[in-house]
Chain A
């Protein structure tokens, strides 16, 4: 059962890119999409209204964090995470497995679940697939993720990798079994298998057989080589059904998004754009600018020329007309500075995907990709990352040509 419809609008005639509209319980969202991460039911200082104004209609919460604070009892009492944070649009929650392993180095995975010590009082706790789904049912997110056995992709231990993959499949079955509201929450499976393409193929086949409403490719973005990353995404999307959304977890650099879309992925999330904003970094089409650098102290232009975010838009057009010099003036000194840059970065990421979608619909995605890299590297093809050239070459776009 699914609580979504996937409306495929266009396919790129050269690459594997797709444009679609995903109809979710809290409204439609355009694909491809970038989803900002509101870890603890709040997007780093922004009000739900501010997030909405940047165009966001689907953001993430973290099950692990919400399970600890405010906790399941509160979520039940309040009536779920939408009501809790006054967010009228869609939410996606991860299962908590990743945080368990990334934040708590002492977590131990057994067939039963993930065993860890409470960061609050050190008491032993166990997160099982059933408990993760129960939490996500209480959260009420529109898309929920299965609990998976996450290990570092770079792990050399093949046996452990195989075990994690097989276990993730078994846990999916337990998640499906435990899921109370398939008619209003969409459970996505997560393909594991590290960087071993055969394992990934096997896992994909197993997961697809379970017919979940959407499919995620997990265990990536953990420090593996970009070449390897692209091979995994390309391999998996090649085996996935066309009429289902594909979510690559934890991916967020602009180049990664543009290449991954060409490889046939639809959904992405990452904390980097919002986290880096708090360090004074602005994402622009010409690269990331650290606005704390003194060269910006007298730069009275917008964060990015032509950007239509709340900060950059001119006052005549209803924006604030915030300058780089002002961001320099407040960043890391007043929280409002972080809020301003966070809005800009979220807008940039959402707008990048919006432009990509339009290009796919008009069947000019290869040109869009070339334009994107040209601008990012100042038309200097020598600077293009080899992995991107190779990956795009594999789907028929020669970045170095023309």
Chain B
């Protein structure tokens, strides 16, 4: 990862984003770029940024984020911070400090921040957007947020980059033409709102850079929006947020100089490569965390190692739940230099997963981020060397097209982490931690010991591993907190 802060951009306005295309072979082709923001680490593109949940990359505490070299940038969804809205002012807006969002989530000063409204990927909401509001999902349920509110939040939180609100009905399979018209109208209106809000900011306030959303609909259905974007807003925006990479062809030439941030969720490294080949610059990659939660340690390099004979395609990851790894004292990946691979071996990680110790997911997450980091380093080298297309072909031939299936159980899932339609499904989202023996089992156990006394439930410490389920805690009184509420002794 590039560690040196941006240099020689002193002549730019204090918060202006600079994006230089270093190499491009035309539209719909991979390109190399350099994105700089004052005071932040410069990022060479194509690259990925961290995908945060409630201010942290899942499983990576802030000190570990620093120890792992940190990423150059992170994506932060506003919906993670505004569950008190609209009844109360969310705490995040009450911080009286410079750079309040960064301070609140303890992000290093040199990591750039991208603020968006929804998590990546967003969970579909049952409430439709209106002309002034989008609906989102906070940790306590569905909420609506006005465009005005979002713009004000951006001014207050001082992120480096803000992604304009996009009117996209997430989760809706078929979108009618009329609705698409509305999407483009509203997105334009909301983009104008945030530009206006930014223009109204005081001299001394730190400004943000705006990325304009490009909708996942055909060009002629968002032509008005795109036209207006080019006519009066192109000098007000610093980048574009792309929701459908396969429509990059439709992107007006006048926007080609801008950095492109992908919200087109890739399912595999192959899909990432496809997007890179179309000229995408920046990514949030939800599959990193999905793999980590599933206990899958990613294991691929770009270009792949030489293929030996007719050997079958290699898996893109290792299922760390595999009992065969229990005595494997080798690192996850031989050449990997991440903290998980240099300090620990497969046997320990397999143990941590099967013992449901949180550290298992921590180590896999650290490793998986390192794998993607070197993946992008290699992608850039490959583009530089002009071998990208050939390397993609060998990659596709060498690896399975999809990530391995999840076999083990992940950490506890939270309400804001699964799709709302899944609420309707029967069965528990998390398995029961405690279970009672049935009558037959109790009789059997008593017989085994010749005991006739009452038999208590099996107490299993695994119940305490991970996190405790939490309902709304607002009503808890401080007086109720006392030493001794938990059982003592291991």
Contact = CB atoms under 8 A, between A and B. Distances in A.
A295 B477 CA distance: 9
Interface residues of B, number: 79
Q: For A77, A94, A333, which residue has the most chain B Cβ atoms within 10 angstroms?
A: A333
Given A326-B106, A334-B53, A290 B348 contact: no
A74 interface: yes
Interface in A82-104: 84-86, 94, 98-99, 102-104
B257 to A, nearest CB: 36
A270 B348 contact: no
Contact of B473 (A119, A276, A294, A336): A294
B359 A42 contact: yes
Given A94-B490, A293-B478, A44 B358 contact: yes
A330 B490 contact: no
Contacts of B358: 42, 44-45, 335, 338-339
A60 B490 contact: yes
Interface stretch (A192-200, A231-239, A316-324): A316-324
A248 to B, nearest CB: 11
Interface string A209-243: 00000000000011000000000000000000000
A18 B488 CA distance: 25
B233 interface: no
A327 to B, nearest CB: 11
B445 A340 contact: no
A74 B326 contact: yes
A5 interface: no
B174 interface: no
A106 interface: yes
Contacts of A269: 490
Contacts of A339: 61, 64, 358, 362
Q: For B91, B350, B478, which residue has the most chain A Cβ atoms within 10 angstroms?
A: B91
A381 interface: no
A279 to B, nearest CB: 6
A222 B489 CA distance: 8
Interface string A239-259: 000000000011111010000
Nearest to A41: B351
B61 A340 contact: yes
A50 B467 contact: no
Contacts of B488: 221, 250-253, 270-272
Contacts of A85: 348
Contacts of A50: 61, 63-64
B230 interface: no
- Grouping DSSP codes into helix (H, G, I), strand (E, B) and loop, the B interface class, with mixed when no group exceeds half, is loop
B58 A334 contact: yes
Interface string A33-47: 000010111111111
Contacts of B352: 40-42
B306 interface: no
A222 B344 CA distance: 36
B58 A270 contact: no
A275 B468 CA distance: 10
Given A250-B489, A253-B483, A290-B478, A340 B355 contact: no
A270 B489 contact: yes
Interface stretch (A62-70, A167-175, A178-186, A364-372): A62-70
Contacts of A336: 56-62
Contacts of A333: 54, 139, 414, 470
Contacts of A335: 58-59, 358, 361-362, 411, 466-467
Q: For A65, A69, A321, A336, which residue has the most chain B Cβ atoms within 10 angstroms?
A: A336
Given A41-B348, A330-B56, A334-B54, A48 B490 contact: no
B486 A276 contact: yes
A146 to B, nearest CB: 17
B201 interface: no
Contacts, number: 230
Nearest to A292: B473
A288 B460 CA distance: 26
Contacts of A77: 327, 329, 347
Interface in B322-336: 326-327, 329
Contacts of B474: 294
A102 B489 contact: yes
A281 B470 CA distance: 13
A330 B54 contact: yes
B63 A310 contact: yes
B127 interface: no
B449 interface: yes
Interface string B47-74: 0000001111111111110010000000
A359 to B, nearest CB: 22
B489 A221 contact: yes
Contacts of B484: 253
B310 interface: no
B455 to A, nearest CB: 7
B436 interface: no
B22 interface: no
B130 to A, nearest CB: 28
B468 A278 contact: yes
A134 interface: no
Nearest to A99: B490
Contact of A320 (B57, B106, B348, B470): B106
Contacts of B455: 105-106
Given A326-B55, A330-B56, A69 B468 contact: no
Interface string A277-288: 011010000001
A70 B467 CA distance: 22
A99 B476 CA distance: 32
A336 B411 CA distance: 12
Interface string B24-55: 00000000000000000000000000000111
B385 interface: no
Interface string B86-97: 000001001101
A62 B343 contact: no
A86 to B, nearest CB: 5
Interface string B75-104: 000000100100000010011010000011
A69 B354 contact: yes
A9 interface: no
Given A290-B476, A290-B478, A334-B54, A40 B355 contact: yes
Nearest to B89: A298
B106 A321 contact: yes
B456 interface: yes
B105 interface: yes
A332 interface: yes
Given A45-B358, A271-B488, A335-B411, A326 B347 contact: no
Contact of B357 (A45, A251, A278): A45
A236 to B, nearest CB: 18
A71 B467 CA distance: 25
A305 to B, nearest CB: 17
Contacts of A328: 91
Contacts of B361: 335
A300 interface: yes
A292 B478 contact: no
A47 B329 contact: no
Contacts of A332: 467-470
Nearest to B456: A105
Interface of A: 37, 39-50, 53, 60, 62, 65, 69-71, 73-74, 77-78, 84-86, 94, 98-99, 102-106, 108, 115, 117, 119, 122, 124, 221-222, 249-253, 255, 269-272, 275-276, 278-279, 281, 288-290, 292-295, 297-298, 300, 310, 315, 320-323, 325-326, 328-340, 343
11 contacts: A44-B358, A62-B490, A106-B448, A108-B449, A108-B451, A275-B486, A293-B477, A298-B91, A328-B91, A340-B61, A343-B61
Given A45-B59, A98-B490, 10 more contacts: A41-B351, A47-B343, A50-B61, A53-B63, A103-B461, A117-B445, A250-B490, A279-B468, A300-B97, A343-B63
The 3 A-B pairs with the shortest beta carbon distances in the complex, nearest first, are A45-B358, A250-B489, A332-B470
